[in-house]
C-alpha cells in the first residue's frame, strides 16, 4: 500500500500564507502594545469617573506633610455628621451628606458654612484617615475634608483623569451677611457683616502624582470661591491633588506677620495683643521708647501689611 505524502504543494502554500499573515498581524500589534504600555507607565489611575476612598487615601499619602497634620485629631460622629472635632480653638462639623455643607469657625466665635464642589452629585462621606473624610464626586474627582491639629481646615480635591473638571467652586455662607475677597498673595479672606475677619484661605496649590506643580488660582463669583486647576495639559501625571487651606483668625494673623519678615516668636507675641489699631500702635511706641527699635520696626510693618486682621 502506498502512502500519500502529508505535505503537498497546496498544503505548503496554505501554510506559508498563514505564517505570513500571522507575522504581519504581530507586526501590527507590536506598536499598539507598546503604546498601551507607555500610557500605563504615564498614568497611575484607572480613569474611572469614580474616585474611591482607597484611591483618595493613597493620593493623600503621596503628598508630604498632609496626613501627618491630623493624625492625632480625636473626632466623633453623630446621626448627621461624618466628623465632629475641636482642635486649637476651631470647631468643625463635617456632614455625611455633602449637600449640607461643612461648618467651622472659632469655638466661641462666628462660624461659616462651605458647600463642597459638585455636592449635589457627590456620594456620602467616608473616613480615609484620622481627621479626614472624603466624598466621591462621580466626575473623575473627589473632595476630602481634613481637621488639622493646629485648628486649620483643608478641603482637598483629588483629580483622577483629564476628563475631570478644571474648576471647583466652594460656596461660602457667612451668618448675617459678610463677604469673601481675594488677597494680594492669591489667597482669600472671609469677613462678617461688621468687616471683621472670620477666616483666611491660603494661596492655592496643586501637585501631580510626581510632585510637580500644576497651575492653579482662585477667582470669586459672589459668595463662591472657585479654584481653577489647569491639569488637562501635556506632562501632568494623575492623580492631581489641590488644596484650599482655611485657617482660623489667630494663625492667619500670625502667618501675615511672618510674611512681612517678622520671626515666628515675635509674630506670636504681636498676634496675641488686642487686635486693635490703637493697642498695636501704642505697644510699638512703648517698645521703641524702651530702646527695642527692631520690634518697633516690626510693629509698623505689621500695622501697614496686616490691616484686615485689625479693628480700627
103-146 pLDDT, tens per residue? 998 887 778 999 999 999 999 999 999 999 999 999 999 999 99
Please name the residues in contact with 154: beta carbons below 8 A apart, sequence gap of 6 or more: 66, 69, 144, 145, 146, 148, 243, 244, 245, 246
Distance CA 12, CA 226 (A): 70
The position carrying cell 489641590 is 242
C-alpha cell at 188: 482669600
What DSSP designation does 203 have?
P
Per residue in 194-246, pLDDT (tens digit) is 777 788 888 899 999 999 999 999 999 999 999 999 999 999 999 999 999 89
Cα 69 to its chain centre, rounded Å, is: 14
**Which letter does DSSP use for residue 108 in this model?**
T
Q: How far apart are the first and last CA of the chain?
A: 119
Please choose, from the candidates 95, 219, 89, the residue with its C-alpha nearest in 3D space to the C-alpha of residue 167: 219
For residue 15, name the pLDDT band (cuts at 50, 70, 90).
very low
Residue 120, C-beta contacts closer than 8 angstroms, at least 6 positions apart:
99
For residue 310, count other CB atoms closer than 10 A to its CB.
Answer: 20
The C-alpha angle 75, 80, 85, rounded to 5 degrees, equals 20
Read off the DSSP letter of residue 177.
Answer: S
Q: Which of 12-16, 89-93, 212-216 has the highest mean pLDDT?
A: 212-216
Instruction: Calculate ∠ Cα 264-270-272, nearest 5°.
Output: 105
Amino acid at each position: 500500500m502506498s502512502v500519500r505524502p502529508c505535505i503537498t504543494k497546496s498544503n505548503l502554500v496554505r501554510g506559508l500564507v498563514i505564517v505570513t499573515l500571522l507575522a504581519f498581524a504581530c507586526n501590527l500589534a507590536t506598536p499598539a502594545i507598546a503604546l498601551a504600555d507607555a500610557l500605563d507607565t504615564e498614568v497611575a489611575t484607572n480613569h474611572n469617573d469614580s474616585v474611591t476612598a482607597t484611591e483618595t487615601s493613597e493620593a493623600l499619602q503621596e503628598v508630604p506633610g498632609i496626613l501627618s497634620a491630623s493624625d492625632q485629631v480625636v473626632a466623633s460622629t453623630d446621626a448627621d455628621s461624618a466628623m465632629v472635632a475641636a482642635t486649637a480653638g476651631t470647631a468643625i462639623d463635617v456632614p455625611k451628606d455633602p449637600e449640607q455643607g461643612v461648618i467651622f469657625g472659632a469655638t466661641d466665635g462666628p462660624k461659616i458654612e462651605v458647600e463642597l464642589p459638585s455636592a449635589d452629585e457627590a456620594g456620602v462621606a467616608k473616613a480615609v484617615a484620622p481627621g479626614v473624610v472624603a466624598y466621591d464626586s462621580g466626575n473623575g474627582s473627589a473632595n476630602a475634608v481634613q481637621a488639622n491639629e493646629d485648628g486649620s481646615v483643608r478641603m482637598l480635591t483629588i483629580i483622577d483623569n483629564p476628563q475631570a473638571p478644571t474648576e471647583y467652586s466652594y460656596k461660602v455662607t457667612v451668618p448675617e451677611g459678610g463677604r469673601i475677597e481675594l488677597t494680594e498673595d492669591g489667597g482669600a479672606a472671609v469677613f462678617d457683616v461688621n468687616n471683621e475677619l472670620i477666616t483666611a484661605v491660603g494661596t492655592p496649590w496643586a501637585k501631580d502624582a510626581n510632585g510637580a506643580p500644576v497651575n492653579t488660582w482662585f477667582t470669586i463669583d459672589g459668595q463662591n470661591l472657585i479654584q481653577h486647576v489647569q491639569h488637562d495639559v501635556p506632562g501632568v501625571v494623575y492623580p492631581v491633588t489641590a488644596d484650599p487651606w482655611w485657617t482660623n483668625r489667630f494663625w492667619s494673623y500670625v502667618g501675615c506677620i511672618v510674611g512681612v519678615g517678622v520671626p515666628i516668636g515675635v509674630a506670636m507675641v504681636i498676634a496675641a495683643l488686642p487686635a486693635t489699631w490703637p493697642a498695636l500702635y501704642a505697644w510699638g511706641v512703648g517698645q521703641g521708647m524702651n530702646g527695642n527699635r527692631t520690634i518697633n520696626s516690626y510693629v509698623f510693618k505689621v500695622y501697614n501689611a496686616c490691616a484686615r486682621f485689625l479693628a480700627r
